[in-house]
Structure 1
Amino acid sequence: MSKTPKHWFISDTHFCASRPEHIDAFAKLCQLPEAGDSVLLLGDIFEIWVSDDLAEACDLQIEAELKQLTGRGVQVYFMHGNRDFMVGKDFCARTACKSLRDPSPWTLPDGRRCMLTHGDWFCTDEKSYRRYRLIVRNPLFQFIFRRLPKAKRLDIANNIRKNSIKAHRENGQRSYDANAELIQHYFDKYTEASCIIMGHTHLPMLHQNQAKARMVLGDWRDTLWYACADQQRGLCLFEADLKLEQNHCRYRLQA
């Protein structure tokens, strides 16, 4: 009897050299998926990604873990976030990850249809970020950026990081949730989708409204968040300690 596949969902890990404990935790988490499973990385996996030819040592560690996953027969999908929008074809070639458009339809192991997104395009109340997104997601900007000297690209990336930290402090660490009207508009337009799985907001939660649901993945700080779906239990959102010794299902969307 063949094994029922599991689908694993992760976002907003913000991997960087200053948080090596998160990279170690990811290495442990990567031991859980088995051949035939799918791992879906829904954006902001890296704190900042300048370009495929400027990966730092910590980035290469993550690449190595992803390459081991795909080498074991695990399907790995990568979706761009607002921090790693410059991840390109070379990264996917090195890791054997498949690029995933935002948004993308997805079918869970229990047959339920859902939509996967990083989620930032739902956060219309975050006005300063909306202006930033219009610039950095513009194909012309990305075309020009990739052709700048390495030193200039690093300088721009560092300024983006500094401005993000400044804005975060000025907002008093306030998080913006998705716009409820926009979420409802999506469900009204795409009636086949009964669930949205997203990240970006750093507000882990399961929102349910009758037959529709929205699961928000959490970011990685003192604890780490990930979701797992299988045919038996449905879709579960887990919170775990950094050593993955304590895993708690905080929210569950039953099959």
Structure 2
Amino acid sequence: MTRLDPIQLEVGNLVIADLHLAVEDASSVDSFVRWLETLEGVSRLLILGDLFDYWVGMSQARYAGTEEALAALARCVARGTGIDVLLGNRDFLLDAGFERRTGCRVHTEAILGQTPDATRVLFLHGDELCTLDRRYQLLRRVLRSWPVRFVAPRLPGLANLAARHLRRVSEKDLERKPADEVRQQRAAAEAFVLRWGADLLVCGHAHRHRDEPLGKARWIVLDAFGGPAGVMEVLPGGALGVSERGPEPGDG
């Protein structure tokens, strides 16, 4: 099992997921850029995957939308906000080049955190909980394998075409699959909590908020960014709850 050193979370730290920024269109990232500018004094931001709608490497920086997002992240880090980014199912090729450009830290598997009240929090993207979709889980392992991660940045044109094709196929495939097959499974969530000894599991991917008991633990799924529960915050006292620091209505 991969060893994770817990991140010490502080009051005011924020958690978001599933922005799906369109890399070719600068206007699509404007609301996120404006929101980042409001984070003065926030010591840490966690992004739980799918920051971008797809990512094949730093060759995407030639697109205006990508460059604007990267520059905004770098400015936010320069102002003192540490940004931790989990790989999602759309941007699983984020790598050291992204880290160097932005100052963000990329996490490939999970993030383990501890709140001021000693709650042990496991952060995932959430697609790993869709265990009944066995074909997807196999594809997930292949796409995250070292050969793919090695080749994709070196063949950006081919990787770009492949990423767009996979996105279209995934969207069509999702419509055809039974609902239970693509749903996040409670048993899988319980297994992750047990594996990491967590008191709280927080993830995204489903784009639909949930907050419920999970045995002796608790399970929170964020809305996609811009939704009513799209930003979570470490509140005074140490609990994690819905933040009032979300983007302005209609700006998410």
Give the TM-score, by structure 2 length: 0.83
Report the AA paired with residue 39 of structure 1: L
Task: Answer yes or no: is 1:206 the counterpart of 2:248.
Answer: no
Could you say which residue in structure 2 is the equivalent of 1:47?
53
Q: 2:69 aligns with which of 47, 62, 66?
A: 62
- Structure 2 stretches lacking a partner, 5+ long: 1-9
Alpha-carbon distance in structure 2 between the residues aligned to 1:242 and 1:17: 20
Structure 2 residue 229 is the aligned partner of structure 1 residue 227: no
SS in 2 for 1:213: strand
Alignment-mate amino acid for residue 8 of structure 1: L
Distance 1:221 1:245, change over 3 A: closer
Distance 1:94 1:181, change over 3 A: same
Percent same amino acid at aligned positions? 22
CA displacement 1:45-78 (0-9 Å, x = unmatched):
1001111122321111111211111111111111
Identify, as 1 or 2, the structure richer in strand.
1
Q: 2:145 aligns with which of 126, 134, 138?
A: 138
Cα pair 1:11 1:41 within 8 Å, conserved: yes
Task: Write the letter of the residue equivalent to 2:204.
Answer: G
Query: Pick from 160, 170, 174: which aligns with 2:176?
Result: 170
Amino acid at match of 1:165: E
Q: Deviations over 1:209-246 (max 9, x none)?
A: 46410111112477671111133472112588863489
Whole-Å Cα distance in 1 between the matches of residues 150 and 103 of structure 2?
23
Q: Is the 8 A contact 1:7 1:108 kept in 2?
A: no
1:183 Cα offset (Å): 1.9
1:99 CA drift (Å): 1.8
**Residue equivalent to 1:190:** 196
Distance 1:87 1:29 in 2: 22
**Are positions 1:151 and 2:157 aligned together?**
yes
Cα distance, 1:245–1:44 mapped onto 2, change above 3 Å: closer
- The aligned counterpart of 1:215 is 220
- Quote the Cα distance in structure 2 between the aligned partners of 1:246 and 1:221: 7
Quote how far apart the aligned CAs of 1:97 are: 0.6
Structure 2 residue corresponding to 1:128, chosen from 129, 135, 157:
135
Stretch of structure 1 that moved more, 54-63 or 235-244: 235-244
Paired residues, what number?
242
TM-fit CA distance, 1:176: 3.1
Cα offset for 1:30? 1.4
Distance of 2:246 and 2:79 partners within structure 1: 25
Q: Which residue of 1 aligns with 2:185?
A: 179
Consecutive unaligned residues of structure 1, counting only runs of 5 or more, are: 248-255
AA aligned to 1:66 is: L
Q: 1:33 to 1:112 in 2, by over 3 A?
A: farther
Aligned match of 1:81 in 58, 83, 88? 88
Correspondence for 1:253? none
**Deviation string, structure 1 residues 119-174 (Cα, Å, up to 9, x no partner):** 211210223321320220111122122332x3222221221122122223334888
Deviation per CA, 1:98-121: give whole Å up to 9, x if none.
122422211124331111111211
Q: TM-score under structure 1 normalisation? A: 0.82
Aligned to 1:27: 33
Q: What SS class does the counterpart of residue 181 from structure 1 fall into?
A: helix
Distance 2:229 2:221 in 1: 13
- Structure 1 residue identity aligned to 2:235: D
Which letter does structure 1 place at the counterpart of 2:207? H
- SS of the residue 1:81 aligns to: coil
- What SS does structure 1 have at the residue aligned with 2:182? coil
Farther off after superposition, 126-135 or 214-223: 214-223
Per-residue CA distance 1:19-58 (angstroms, 9 max, x = gap): 7665232123213323352001110110011111223211
SS in 1 for 2:118: coil
